[in-house]
Amino acid sequence: MIDGLAGVKNSGGTIVFVCSKCRTYPDHAYGAPNKDQLVYMLVCQKCGRTLGEWVSTEQREKELREFAKRVELLT
């Protein structure tokens, strides 16, 4: 699940993911929707919004790789 994630190009031309609201770089986090499940998350450091949530690092990498191909770049 990706929600509220956007992209900007850094000075080297690399697309960097940011919060679409704050334009702040996300931070990696872990969450537990219930006591038997751990999820991997991207969370905005400024507003605390959950920008992405996945059940495995493999799923996260795959979805972010696909998202990078179609991400809306902010100016």
Q: Where are the domains of the chain?
A: 5-70
Please check the confidence at residue 24 and state whether its pLDDT lies above 90. Answer: yes
pLDDT given at position 42: 95
pTM of the model: 0.81
Please check the confidence at residue 75 and state whether its pLDDT lies above 90. Answer: no
Q: Give the confidence band of 54 by pLDDT, cuts at 50, 70, 90.
A: very high
pLDDT given at position 72: 79
Buried b (16+ CB within 10 A) or exposed e, 32-64: eeeeeeebbbbbbeeeebbbbbbeeeeebeeeb
CA 64/CA 33 separation, integer angstroms: 21
Q: What percent of the chain has pLDDT over 70?
A: 100
Q: Give the confidence band of 63 by pLDDT, cuts at 50, 70, 90.
A: very high
